[in-house]
Amino acid sequence: MNMENYVLVFVAGLVTAIATGLGAIPFFFVDDFSDRWNVALWGIASGIMVAVSVFGLVDEGLAYATDGFPTLLVGGLVTGVALVIVSDKVLDGVDLHDDREHDHGATGDELRTDGVGHDHDEHALEAKAFAQGDLKTLVLILGILTVHSFPEGVAVGVSFAELGLDGGTPILGFTIPLLAVFMTVAISIHNIPEGTAIAIPMRAMGLSKWRMVGAAIFSSLPQPIGAVIAFAFVSWAEAFLPFGFGFAAGAMVYLVATEFIPEALETGAALPNRGHYELLAGFGAGVAAMVPLLFI
């Protein structure tokens, strides 16, 4: 086992987590962060994700498929979608509302008096936990976030499957697959508006700007763990590479359809045409920027 490779994959996952903290940076300079820009950023992230998943992950999975019908790839696609669905069911069964109304008289609605319509309960609860220094609640949130963001970490880890082989990009003495570079960038871009969504209720509660950055990074800490686990799996079971590529692609595309795009439209609810133009422009820009690079 080459420990250096695992460290590199962990660092790549950590980069995506740190990128979440960038979503809180605008609040160092402005009181309000443009919904128009946030929607466009969700669109860019979604376009990049779909392009990398379809023209990168699926294409790689087909290349490794040895039989006439890519059974493992299709199985991975279905399993990736199923994991996201099951994860959502698990999260729906977790009660995030306990005692929220007792926190200085604040209700869930008051915690979200940001005017942009973000309704992720874990974001408001995380803000409250950081404000109170509630370790028990933070541990609960970390568990929830592990379920929520694990597929994104898996996508990063799987994209490093060809680490060290010919055809990659030399970076810091490593030959890194282009797919891994693109996937790390895609997840990082997605995490920026996610970090903004986390910071908004914290801003409303008057928390310090650096605590907002720290909370945003905290929310994505499971991603480097998921990346290492996925990389270990595809490195150990090379025959299952098509399954791994399919798994990551299925999870990513399903997340775009069921979480990223709805989040963007919710953020842009107050914009003309409910932010559809900004979302489509961002999505198109993400695809247009990524597809030519994937065919280099």
* Segment 184-237, tens digit of pLDDT: 988 888 788 778 877 777 777 777 888 888 888 887 888 999 899 999 988 887
Average pLDDT of span 277-296: 84
Angle between helices 121-132 and 178-204 (to 10 degrees): 70
Band (115; pLDDT cuts 50, 70, 90): very low
pLDDT recorded at residue 77: 93
pLDDT recorded at residue 13: 93
Residue 81 has pLDDT above 80, yes or no: yes
Q: For residues 10 and 187, what is the distance between their CA atoms, to the nearest angstrom?
A: 14
Q: CB count, 10 Å around CB of 268?
A: 25
pLDDT recorded at residue 185: 87
Contact 222, 145 (CB under 8 A): yes
Residue 107 has pLDDT above 60, yes or no: no
Q: What is the pTM of this model?
A: 0.75
In the DSSP assignment, the letter for residue 59 is H
Tally the domains of the chain: 1
Q: CB count, 10 Å around CB of 288?
A: 11
Least confident span in 137-146, 225-234, 236-245? 137-146
pLDDT recorded at residue 105: 41
Domain span at 209: 3-294
